[in-house]
Amino acid sequence: MEKTETRVIVFTCNWNAYSSLEAAGVEGLSYPAGVYAVKVMCLGRLHPGLILKAFEQGADSVLLLGCPPGECHYGFGNRHAEEVFAEARALAHLLGIAEERLRLDWLDVGDGHAFVEKVTAFIEQLCSFQPSTLPPSH
Amino acid sequence: MAREVLILGSDAAGLRAALDLADAGLQVHLVEPSPFLGGNRKTSYQPGLRLEAVKHPRITVWTNTTLTRLAGEGADLRAEVRSWPRFVDAQRCTACGDCEEVCPVVVPGQGHTAIHKLPGVSVPNIYVIDRQGRAPCTDACPGGIHVQGYVALIAAGRYREALDLIYEAVPFPGILGRVCHHPCETNCRRAEVDQALSIRNLKRFVADCTLPPFHPSNPPPFRPSTGKHVAIVGSGPSGLTVAYELVRRGHAVTVFEALPVVGGMMAVGIPAYRLPREVIRREVARLQEMGVEIRCNTRIGPDGDLSVDDLLDKYDAVFLGVGAHRPRNLVIPGEELPGVVQGIELLRTINLAQQLPDSEWPERLRQLLPPHVRRAAVIGGGNTAIDVARCLLRQGVRDVRVLYRRSRDEMPAIPDEVEDAEREGIPIEFLTQPIRVIGESEQVVGLECVRMELGEPDESGRRRPVPIAGSEFIVEVDLVVPAIGQQPDLDFLGEALGECGVTRQGNLLVDPVTYMTGKPGVFAAGDAIGQPWSVIDAIGKGKRAARAMDAFLRGLRLPDELAVEAPPMPVARRELLPEEKGPKPRQPMPTISPAERTGGYAEVELGFDEATALAEASRCLSCGPCAECLACEKVCQPRAIDHAMREETATLDVGAVVLVGEGQVTGGDDRVYHVAADDVVGASAVAARVMADLGVALEVLPTPSATRRLPLAIRHPPFAIRIGVFVCKCGSEIADVVDVSTVVAQATHWPGVVYAAPLDFACQAEGAETIAAAVRVHGLDGVVLAACSCCTLDQVCYGCTSQRVRCRTHLGVLADGGQQIPARIELVNIREQCAWVHADDAARATAKARRLIAAAVARLREPDARRRVVEPVTGPVLVWGRGQAAETCAGLLARQGVAVIREASQPVEARGSLGDYTVTLGYNDASRTVSAAVIVLAPASATDFAPWERVFDLGGLAGRRPGLFVCSPEQETEKSGAAVAAQVMALLGRSRRGADGNVAQVEAVRCRACGTCESLCEFGAIAVRQTAAGGWHAVVNAAACTGCGTCAAHCPSGAIVAGYSTDAQIEAMLKAVLSAD
């Protein structure tokens, strides 16, 4: 599979994270076009299988963006997201995926600049890593 | 009994009260005096709630609206409200901001442009024009020129646009820029500060400065040819204006001119030093290029080339713009002497002799003005008198004076012209009336005059001059030139004159609206129908006549079928700010020296240079403040600007009025409720009292979705589903970056996609109509709409906008009705996620848009998780506590027919969620179990509350747990109890609306009843229950489920789908966005 750009899957929750992604758009900020947001209502909706699926499909890296601790729109979702993230990272490690390729972070409401900063920094630190060792599924 | 409530003010408290009342079942009118909810007042309240108010089916939002009257008594109130227009169609504006970029006006004291919106996402996210009325200058212009508009455009250095704007109204910017008597300047408010703007000279500046090339950038719009042909008699300003207007409306026009030159009084009345012939020539040439045919030396009349009846035979309509070329006589002895020459005749002869040196006109001039004439008296105070006096000076008459029977203040001539004449050495003798021309051997030798004094005002409002007995005196002159007025020469009409009709003053009689004479098909305007005589008035009347003629030519019956014109806006009279009152003196017009002037007919005024024009234009106070330059209208791609909007009033029958914040309401008595602007708890309390006082029982919102399941893809095998892809261009917001046509072309090759098309604006009604039609025609089961909206849920998130709500409303995906499209709909945001963030890399933005759309298509091919579940919440409300809060809450709920259980014993155990709470309470030594749909806790203190924290394991979720309310012990108890009562009513009303499409669903056959979900969900919305058949599986309380999807993520058997997407859908999307191509 020949790839022309780094592709990053950003799982965003529907609230703080997605609003920051949108704010970046409204403010006309620029970030690498290889960033693909997949929105879920809450990061609590994710399980390790979905996160690893992204790597399996060829994502160079996966970023989980949600609400700050204690500020989850649903109260408890991001607590579970932290557990799921830890599990997923352990599994990724077993599969030989560098742990820097998976990150969990949070954003304030409507902070477009922080969104751009976070995705850009995440992509920049990736440049030193090898592409996915997982074979493509097809 | 009215079920409607009027809320005045949309601050936090107003929004809260509106939402509580509306959720509980009342109709709410939310009235906000500013164009935006909450105005520009600082508030920490979530903007999302404002959008909820806009979206709520029971809330009518009235922005720019004030209460003007409140009448009636008890709960039968009549409220009259008045709404000032936005001038922007809320159903079409996409908030793209193109208008703001071109608006030349900065609103004084505000710092924003005249068309504006609040920074960020305002609610509604719709632009508004700050247009308080017509600018006084614009209002004064008989020709309908948007005066403040072109002044503002000049100030912005946009000369071409300024000229285009003038051309939209009139065909003669260069002529008017020189000779107009400028009523605009007379009305200019700058005169309150220092002097009026030099508006006429600004017009001349733009008319001249675009040379060469002369033609404005935008040719006037033409309508298709109608095949009708009109004859116009007279090529003066009225006739040529009618020609201009009719040619633009698609009619052929032929102008007949008796004289050898075109322009009527402009060419033979106004002297060349005021209006160079070249200016007339080039503006007439433009008309000819537009298709106006002009035939000079063609006299109409019984002894001319054609009669009016001949014209009526050959043409579809006739316009008589013959002007007023017959002079009024002095009616004094000696007037018949050859040395008495009418001013108008002298002017005509001088002008023609200049323009046609090889004709008979120079000789005629020598006869009228023989070389021996040294001294001349011109009689009159109008422009003709001044013009002829100054011409005589230029013809070599040494001693020219003007005699006027009133004083300077009453002179109808343009004051600047009078001053110029005096500067050139022409004395004006006021209060002087000639009574006899003295002749000797057929030669004028003198003029006997009498001095006058001013008496009582006459019918014209001016003071009537009265002769002073014994004041007679003689002026020695060789030439007497009366210039005391003209009237039309209507002899050319012959027998037709009677049919047309004549006024007492000898003018043509026309209908005041249609400008048609008594002879059908024959219209007239300009000087021929009477005063006032000015170029701009002739143009103004010509325009109105042309409008009626167009209707006549299109076969409409006059006057009944003539479209009624929008009433003019009132004149804006805003208060001037202190910083606007600093003096900025009027720029003087440079002129040639008096010595240079009298030597010939060179133009006296030299015109403004660019720096002078800019300085002068920047003196404008922006009275409108909108200048009506129409620049916004020209750039608005969604065609949302509507300058024809007018103020509207409405009468509302309401049962109560809630006044938010400061202010007073007259009337309404005890049905007017007050709440502080930021007191949201107080707002809920007021809402509860309004509900109780109106005595309305809870009413459930209509639930069209109760009988309607969202269509599922399961009914088709995966590849048989027929999908349509629609890509919004958002005007050019998306299309400028994303190559929409390529994406559309590629989409048609994807599996399942049978149709793909671009849309101009997905958020407009036309967009939804296009989609609905395609669904019908192509039998689509699924639709992917790539625009700016993100989801089809019935919710408003942080970044949501009026446009997205509008889009979803048109598509009918919101819970509360609207248009229903029988297909599953997926929305993708390619504006904020592609076009606006990757504008520097169109290729990658396009590729990304394509993948995001492909992901939505992939999602659609998977079975859907979404389903609307409508489960009414019924059952009693448990109000726990002994204090005043509990008392108030229970009392208010009971007044509305809600079953209330009062308890105050210690809780032992509690479980369940909204709709099915079960609580065990310690009851002396025994215990007792209570079931309730909703629990209201009104503890007296934090200690009192502690056992509830324990039994519910609330962990800080007390405010989030559906159906569990706490009256804070720190709050004023009565207010707190009432506020919670309103929230309970609101919840009961809202909950029955049904959960949104992301609610969890359990596939019973796969559920192992392990209880993982139950232990995870802190809302208590999912629990393992025994079924009627005796088995066990998880059951979802749809009213309590918030759709976060955590249960689905952790279900070991995959029996739960929740949170908008199934695992399969997320995986399909990942695959699509990560695909190689």
- Closest to B265 in 3D by CA, of B388, B408, B396: B388
Give yes or no for residue B937 having a pLDDT over 90: yes
Alpha-carbon gap, residue B195 to B200, rounded angstroms: 14
Calculate how close chain B gets to A112, using CA atoms only, in Å.
11
Instruction: List helix spans (H) across B914-1000.
Output: 942-952, 973-991
**Average pLDDT for B239-260:** 96
Mutate which of B828, B1016, B1061, B1070 to test chain A, going by most A C-beta atoms within 10 A?
B1070
The answer on B17 and B157 residing in a single domain is: no
Which residues numbered 92-111 in A keep a CB inside 8 Å of some CB on B? 109-110
Nearest CA in chain B to A73: B1044
User: What's the mean per-residue pLDDT of chain B?
Assistant: 90
User: CA Rg, chain A, in Å?
Assistant: 14
Closest residue to A80, CB basis, from B791, B1042, B1046: B1046
Closest residue to A25, CB basis, from B832, B840, B852: B832
Q: How confident is the model at residue B791 (pLDDT cuts 50, 70, 90)?
A: confident
Nearest CA in chain A to B848: A33
Per-residue model confidence (pLDDT) at position B1019: 86
Using the Cβ of A45 and the Cβ atoms of chain B, whether some distance falls under 8 Å is answered with: yes
Per-residue model confidence (pLDDT) at position A106: 96
With CB atoms and an 8 Å threshold, state whether B1073 touches A1: no
- Side chain identity at residue B288, one-letter code: Q
Considering the domain boundaries, does residue B510 fall inside one? Answer: yes
Alpha-carbon gap, residue B816 to B700, rounded angstroms: 12
Using the Cβ of A48 and the Cβ atoms of chain B, whether some distance falls under 8 Å is answered with: no
With CB atoms and an 8 Å threshold, state whether A53 touches B1069: no
With CB atoms and an 8 Å threshold, state whether B798 touches A26: no
ipTM entry: 0.94
Per-residue model confidence (pLDDT) at position B211: 53
User: CA Rg, chain B, in Å?
Assistant: 40
Number of helices followed by number of strands (H, E) in chain B: 33, 40
The answer on B165 and B18 residing in a single domain is: no
Residues of A in contact with B120 (CB under 8 A): 26
- The residue out of B535, B553, B571 marking a domain boundary is B553
Give yes or no for residue B714 having a pLDDT over 60: no
With CB atoms and an 8 Å threshold, state whether A49 touches B1063: yes
Query: If you count residue pairs, one on A and one on B, with CB atoms under 8 Å apart, how many are there?
Result: 146
Give yes or no for residue B914 having a pLDDT over 70: yes
Considering the domain boundaries, does residue A137 fall inside one? Answer: no
With CB atoms and an 8 Å threshold, state whether B837 touches A18: no
Calculate how close chain A gets to B14, using CA atoms only, in Å.
24
Q: What are phi and psi of B880, to 5 degrees?
A: -105, 130
Residues of B in contact with A76 (CB under 8 A): 957, 1016, 1018, 1046
Alpha-carbon gap, residue B139 to B623, rounded angstroms: 11
Name the token pair of B78: 């009549």
Considering the domain boundaries, does residue B572 fall inside one? Answer: no
Residues of B in contact with A47 (CB under 8 A): 1049-1050
Considering the domain boundaries, does residue A132 fall inside one? Answer: no
Give yes or no for residue B712 having a pLDDT over 50: no
Residues B111-125: tens digit of each pLDDT = 999 999 988 778 999
Alpha-carbon gap, residue B382 to B273, rounded angstroms: 17
Answer yes or no: are the C-beta atoms of B188 and B196 closer than 8 Å.
Answer: yes
Considering the domain boundaries, does residue A37 fall inside one? Answer: yes
B317, exposed or middle or buried, with CB in 10 Å at 0-12, 13-18, 19+? buried
Considering the domain boundaries, does residue B466 fall inside one? Answer: yes
With CB atoms and an 8 Å threshold, state whether A9 touches B1070: yes
Using the Cβ of A77 and the Cβ atoms of chain B, whether some distance falls under 8 Å is answered with: yes
Alpha-carbon gap, residue B168 to B170, rounded angstroms: 6
Closest residue to A41, CB basis, from B833, B852, B1045: B1045
Per-residue model confidence (pLDDT) at position B992: 58
Calculate how close chain A gets to B760, using CA atoms only, in Å.
20
Per-residue model confidence (pLDDT) at position B959: 59
Q: How confident is the model at residue A128 (pLDDT cuts 50, 70, 90)?
A: low
- Closest to A75 in 3D by CA, of B951, B1018, B953: B1018
Give yes or no for residue B144 having a pLDDT over 80: yes
- Closest to B368 in 3D by CA, of B390, B397, B332: B397
Task: Calculate what percentage of chain B has a pLDDT beyond 70.
Answer: 94
∠ CA A80-A86-A89, nearest 5°, is: 135
Residues of B in contact with A74 (CB under 8 A): 960, 1019, 1042, 1044, 1046
Q: What are phi and psi of B747, to 5 degrees?
A: -60, -30
The answer on B447 and B343 residing in a single domain is: yes
∠ CA B333-B442-B433, nearest 5°, is: 30
Calculate how close chain B gets to A48, using CA atoms only, in Å.
9
**Average pLDDT for B828-845:** 96
Instruction: Determine which helix (DSSP H) or strand (DSSP E) holds B244, and give its type and residue range.
Output: helix B237-248
Q: How confident is the model at residue B866 (pLDDT cuts 50, 70, 90)?
A: low
B497, exposed or middle or buried, with CB in 10 Å at 0-12, 13-18, 19+? middle
The answer on B795 and B807 residing in a single domain is: yes
Q: How confident is the model at residue A134 (pLDDT cuts 50, 70, 90)?
A: low
Nearest CA in chain B to A76: B1018
Alpha-carbon gap, residue B234 to B904, rounded angstroms: 97
Please give the residue range of the domain that contains residue B1042: 1001-1059
The answer on B450 and B499 residing in a single domain is: no
Residues B678-698: tens digit of each pLDDT = 999 999 999 999 999 987 666
The answer on B1020 and B950 residing in a single domain is: no
Task: Calculate what percentage of chain B has a pLDDT beyond 90.
Answer: 72
With CB atoms and an 8 Å threshold, state whether B1073 touches A22: no
For B13, how many CA atoms within 13 A lie in the half-sphere containing its CB? 22
Distances (CA, A) of B636 to B767, B832, B928: 17, 20, 68
Residues of A in contact with B845 (CB under 8 A): 33
Considering the domain boundaries, does residue A80 fall inside one? Answer: yes
Calculate how close chain B gets to A54, using CA atoms only, in Å.
6
Which domain CATH number covers A119? 3.40.50
Q: Are strands B399-403 and B428-429 parallel, antiparallel or unpaired?
A: parallel
Calculate how close chain A gets to B11, using CA atoms only, in Å.
21
Task: Calculate what percentage of chain A has a pLDDT beyond 90.
Answer: 75
Nearest CA in chain A to B95: A26
Residues of B in contact with A87 (CB under 8 A): none
The answer on B473 and B378 residing in a single domain is: yes
Residues B30-61: tens digit of each pLDDT = 999 999 998 877 665 566 788 999 989 899 99
Which domain CATH number covers B92? 3.30.70.20
* Choice among B176-185, B373-382, B835-844, B1037-1046 with the minimum mean pLDDT: B1037-1046
The answer on B825 and B718 residing in a single domain is: yes
Per-residue model confidence (pLDDT) at position A5: 79
With CB atoms and an 8 Å threshold, state whether A33 touches B841: yes
The answer on B317 and B413 residing in a single domain is: no
Number of folded domains that form chain B: 8
Which domain CATH number covers B252? 3.50.50.60
The answer on B710 and B818 residing in a single domain is: yes
With CB atoms and an 8 Å threshold, state whether A80 touches B799: no
Strand partners, B5: B28, B656
Alpha-carbon gap, residue B67 to B80, rounded angstroms: 6
Answer yes or no: are the C-beta atoms of B627 and B148 closer than 8 Å.
Answer: yes
Distances (CA, A) of B5 to B9, B52, B843: 13, 17, 53
Calculate how close chain A gets to B1016, using CA atoms only, in Å.
9
Give yes or no for residue B921 having a pLDDT over 50: yes
Number of folded domains that form chain A: 1
Residues of A in contact with B998 (CB under 8 A): 41
Which residues numbered 119-138 in A keep a CB inside 8 Å of some CB on B? none
B1030, exposed or middle or buried, with CB in 10 Å at 0-12, 13-18, 19+? exposed
Closest residue to B1046, CB basis, from A1, A31, A42: A42
Considering the domain boundaries, does residue B268 fall inside one? Answer: yes
Per-residue model confidence (pLDDT) at position B709: 42
Give yes or no for residue B818 having a pLDDT over 80: no
Per-residue model confidence (pLDDT) at position B2: 62
More confident residue, B864 or B603: B603
With CB atoms and an 8 Å threshold, state whether B798 touches A109: yes
Residues of B in contact with A41 (CB under 8 A): 998, 1043-1045, 1059-1060
Please give the residue range of the domain that contains residue A71: 8-126
The answer on B528 and B461 residing in a single domain is: no
* DSSP assignments along B97-158, one per residue: -HHHHH---BPTTT-SBSEE--SSS-SS---EE-B-SB-HHHHH-TT---HHHHHHHHHTT-
Mutate which of B797, B828, B1046 to test chain A, going by most A C-beta atoms within 10 A?
B1046
Considering the domain boundaries, does residue A136 fall inside one? Answer: no
- Closest to B179 in 3D by CA, of B112, B265, B92: B265
Could you report how far apart the first and last alpha carbons of chain B are, in Å? 65
The answer on B983 and B925 residing in a single domain is: yes
Alpha-carbon gap, residue B61 to B63, rounded angstroms: 6
Closest residue to A77, CB basis, from B791, B840, B1046: B1046
B460, exposed or middle or buried, with CB in 10 Å at 0-12, 13-18, 19+? exposed
Per-residue model confidence (pLDDT) at position A137: 47
With CB atoms and an 8 Å threshold, state whether A44 touches B1046: yes
SS (H, E, C) chain A: CCCCCCCEEEEECCCHHHHHHHHHHHCCCCCCCCEEEEECCCHHHCCHHHHHHHHHCCCCEEEEEECCCCCCCCCCHHHHHHHHHHHHHHHHHHCCCCHHHEEEEECCCCCHHHHHHHHHHHHHHHCCCCCCCCCCCC
With CB atoms and an 8 Å threshold, state whether A75 touches B1066: no
Per-residue model confidence (pLDDT) at position A94: 94
Name the token pair of B1039: 């009213």
Considering the domain boundaries, does residue B574 fall inside one? Answer: no
Give yes or no for residue B251 having a pLDDT over 90: yes
Name the token pair of B479: 């030439």
Considering the domain boundaries, does residue B855 fall inside one? Answer: no
